[in-house]
Structure 1
Amino acid sequence: MTDAALYGGHRDQNVWRRDMVPQVGDEIIVSCESASDVRVTTAQEVLSGAIRTGVSPELRKLGFTGSGQVFELVNPDVWLLLGIQKATGGSASQLRFTLNVAAVPKDKWQEMIDAGARYPARPSPNKVYGKWAWWARIGELMPGGQDFWWTITDETVPDELARKVVSACANYALPALQEQLQVN
């Protein structure tokens, strides 16, 4: 029987190779811990958990739809968007993110597409399109008006993080979007 027949596929695929199987006499190091002692939590898992179990449900109570990293206050005339933007250069043990808010008139959006702009069907809250579309980072809306990024580590408590994010959304992002609705 060939290696391909034994291990499924071609030997060149390196899916499973005979030389990968430990042989008698090979040193094998095994570390055993109970499942309760094993902790596999990354900063991304903390952020995902905070969004899934805290941020998303609370934003829905405030009138937003969506999940993941993009939320919308549904309006027939204006896209009222909230987006979570992660910074580049994060690692498993630490990442940074901020919130972006945008108000984009739907008629102007369609006008830009009709004029040849290569825009998606719906705008992203994490991208600036032009002066005709309002956009801000959450820090600009908060007292002091400075850019603001949350830093998450593998030690960050998801529930506490979710409370802080929802508070910023309720106190700064939502009023700013409602104000933009009056402008548009």
Structure 2
Amino acid sequence: MPAPQGAGSADEVTAQATYAALVKDVLSPGFRDLGLKGSGGRYALAAPGFWALMSLQKSVYSDATEIQFTVNLLAANKEAWNAARAERPYLPQLPAAGVVYGKPTAWTRIGTLTPEGADKWWRIHAGVDQAEVTAEVLHDVRELALPWLRKQVRERG
């Protein structure tokens, strides 16, 4: 797989620039191919009456030499969300997959859905095989994240 557009040699490009190009040029189109809508690290699965959201989260420990990122998932019935907003007016109109709100949402990170059940972070740094990272992220979204979101929508319907 070719490097994302704008990604030159490791000496020329920061991890942030590599990550941004990877998300824009490779991951986002891959997520759209899987049926998600969105870009820039925020995506939604079409589910009438529901928020079925996915977002990429960069670690606070990321820097110019390395980005660590994970996938957050959130599902909520829109009616239940609006009722919660009436009781808790500080809640935003649209929930974000990177925030844990409690009821009425279901929230998880992709790592908890793996057989290991452990938090999972991918690393972008000089020398990393971006094709391998991309393949693993897309696999986990297809095999773990999307089934989890669909299950939440079914169970909250």
Q: Does TM, normalized by the shorter one, top 0.5? A: yes
Given candidates 91, 94, 98, the residue that maps to 1:119 is 91
RMSD: 1.8
Given candidates 109, 112, 117, the residue that maps to 1:145 is 117
Residue in 1 that maps onto 2:45: 73
Identical counterparts, % of pairs = 32
Secondary structure (helix, strand or coil) at the match of 1:123 reads coil
The reply to whether residue 166 of structure 1 matches residue 129 of structure 2 is no
Given residue 83 of structure 1, which amino acid in structure 2 is its aligned partner? S
Residue in 2 that maps onto 1:182: 154
Question: Which ranges in structure 1 are unaligned for 5 or more consecutive residues?
Answer: 1-35
Given residue 108 of structure 2, which amino acid in structure 1 is its aligned partner? A
Residue in 1 that maps onto 2:14: 42
Give the length in aligned residue pairs: 149
Given residue 151 of structure 2, which amino acid in structure 1 is its aligned partner? E
CA deviation profile, 1:56-103 (whole Å, cap 9, x unmatched): 111111110000111000222110011101110221001211101110
> Is this contact kept in 1: 2:84–2:104, CA < 8 A?
no
Q: How far did 1:157 drift? A: 3.8
- Pick closer, same or farther for the CA change 1:182–1:42 going to 2, 3 Å: same
Secondary structure (helix, strand or coil) at the match of 1:79 reads strand
Given residue 89 of structure 2, which amino acid in structure 1 is its aligned partner? A
Q: How far did 1:160 drift? A: 3.0
TM-score w.r.t. length of structure 2: 0.87
**In 1, Cα distance between the equivalents of 2:69 and 2:93?**
25
Secondary structure (helix, strand or coil) at the match of 1:162 reads helix
Question: Which ranges in structure 2 are unaligned for 5 or more consecutive residues?
Answer: 1-7
**In 2, Cα distance between the equivalents of 1:179 and 1:124?**
19
Secondary structure (helix, strand or coil) at the match of 2:95 reads coil
**In 1, Cα distance between the equivalents of 2:127 and 2:14?**
9
CA deviation profile, 1:109-161 (whole Å, cap 9, x unmatched): 11122224212221100011113210011000011111111122133343332
TM-score w.r.t. length of structure 1: 0.75
Max radius of gyration: which structure? 1
